[in-house]
A = this chain, B = another copy of it.
Amino acid sequence: MGMVSEKMYELGTKKSTIRTIFEFGRKRAAEVGEENIFDFSLGNPNVPTPEFVKQAAIDILREMEPSAVHGYTVAPGNPEVRETLAGSINARFGTKFAGKNLFLTAGAAAAITISFKALAEPGDEFIAFAPFFPEYRCFVESVGASLVVVPAQPEDFQINFTAFEGLVHAKTKAVIVNSPNNPSGAVYSEQTIRRLADILRKKSKEYGHPIFIISDEPYREIAYEGYEVPYVTKYYENTLVCYSYSKSFSLPGERIGYIVVPDEVEDFGRIYGAVAGAARVLTHVNAPSLWQLVVARCAGKPSDISTYARNGQMLYQGLIDAGFDCVKPQGAFYLFPKALEEDDYAFCERAKKYDLLLVPGADFGCPGYFRVAYCIKTETIERSLPLFKQLAAEYR
């Protein structure tokens, strides 16, 4: 008998590449000064939390009975909050949700893991499209299922449907859609979502059970002019939506988000029930109660994405000018250019000479590319552009 779970020990101590790069950056910053480090490693929103969010929190703390603010809520979340959020989604997207369709969670990470755990049976497969958020693998495997990765379609980072169709099996339980995408910055077009829905409908019929879409949407509000993010439940009935306020209201530390289970899923009662059970064993108890009230008060208020839009445009132009091959920024706050040599790790190592901290694409299931998170100071991006030029010049 060992002392601890070996698997948990490994998961808790093996540093992610992103974390390793970030820590290297902190060390370098101490040596050469903060202003000389160009850290594009972390997806931590740098737009401040909106003033109206702060004010809502203060007002709630001041005006309401403490037990109404800080008491346990029912496990799916405060019923009035859920009604308000459902109404806000409906007003924006023409959906018809009620409070009973929402299950509030401690952010999107909890929302997607609860969804995985609710659905997963032994031997199930979940499909992700490269490039993808690396924690998906850890979350899917933790519920006893396995992750199947569809190779990227690097010319536009939409879905590689040919590869996808070959990978859907009788054991496929669900497909993870993440748009606007981390790390590619692409927004799946309406056409992409329609085609995905058609294939899944056909395959669900063929295999005699629904194949779900789990739409992981923390970046939904960060979509730039000309790019609409289709609301997936309108295109495909067996969809669970996982949302978070981490990026839209810059509240990543507070852990607040939700799962939408539409009426149209194959058996609402069974699925919502399984979501509740999964939340229970993941000891979710309830989403933080103050933040439930805050997001209800701020429902429908806009996210300020102008900084991200400006940063993305500037960085994109700079990279193109330097000779990089890169899809235009469409949403989220990432670019995912092609590395200038085949080995993306070697490329990112070389970039370090210029104190450009980039994340290898292999970490996202897409070797030969690299991720640049531009949720940093605009001025830092501006000063980084000549360095990208120098880096590119090395390869000529």
Interface residue? A58 (CB, 8 A): yes
Is the contact region of chain A dominated by helix, strand, or loop, or is it mixed?
helix
Within A42-71, the residues touching B (CB, 8 Å) are 44-46, 48-49, 54, 57-58, 61-62, 65-67, 69-71
CA distance A54 to B59 in the complex (A): 11
Contacts of A69 in B (CB 8 A): 49, 253
Q: Does the CB pair A106–B66 fall under 8 Å?
A: no
Chain A 286-297, CB-CB to B under 8 Å as 1, else 0, gives 101111100000
- Within 8 Å of chain B (Cβ to Cβ): is A100? no
A138 sits at the interface (CB 8 A):
yes
A249-298 residues at the B interface, CB under 8 angstroms: 250-255, 266-267, 269-286, 288-292
Identical subunits present: 2
* A270-B117 in contact given A253-B71, A286-B255 (Cβ < 8 Å): no
| A4 CB-CB contact with B under 8 Å | yes
**Segment of A5-13, A194-202, A301-309, A339-347 engaged in the interface with chain B:** A5-13
Whether A70 contacts B121 by the Cβ 8 Å rule is no
Is B253 within 8 A of A12, CB to CB? no
Residue from B5, B112, B139 within 8 A of A119 (CB atoms): B5
Residues of B within 8 A of A66 (CB): 48-49, 54, 250
Give Cα distance in the complex from A70 to B284, angstroms: 20
* A218 vs chain B, min Cβ distance (A): 12
CA–CA, A109 and B282, complex, Å: 9
Can you report 29 residue pairs joining A to B where beta carbons are below 8 Å apart?
A1-B124, A1-B209, A2-B209, A3-B119, A3-B209, A3-B271, A5-B120, A5-B277, A8-B277, A9-B277, A11-B278, A12-B118, A12-B272, A48-B65, A48-B67, A49-B67, A49-B69, A54-B61, A54-B62, A57-B290, A70-B254, A107-B285, A109-B283, A113-B282, A138-B281, A139-B283, A142-B281, A282-B283, A290-B290
Q: List B contacts of A272 (CB < 8 A).
A: 12
Binary interface encoding of chain A residues 25-53 relative to chain B, with 1 for a CB under 8 A from any of its CBs, else 0: 00000000000000000001110110000
Beta-carbon contact of A283 and B110 below 8 Å: yes
Tell me how many residues of A have a C-beta within 8 Å of chain B. 84
Determine whether A24 belongs to the interface, using a CB cutoff of 8 Å to chain B.
Answer: no
- Among A3, A66, A73, A290, chain B packs the most CB atoms within 10 A around the CB of A3
Which residues of chain B are within 8 angstroms of A170 by Cβ–Cβ distance? 1
Residues of B within 8 A of A361 (CB): none
Closest to A78 in B: B253
Task: Report if A331 contacts B (CB, 8 A).
Answer: no
Decide if A171 is an interface residue (CB 8 Å cutoff): yes
- Interchain CB contact under 8 A, B3 and A267: yes
CB-defined contacts of A65 to chain B, threshold 8 Å: 48
Is A288 touching B5 in the complex (CB atoms < 8 A)? Answer: no
Question: Within 8 Å of chain B (Cβ to Cβ): is A183?
Answer: no
The interface bits of chain A over 128-172 (1 if a CB of B lies within 8 angstroms of the residue's CB, else 0) are 000000000011001000000000000000000000000000110
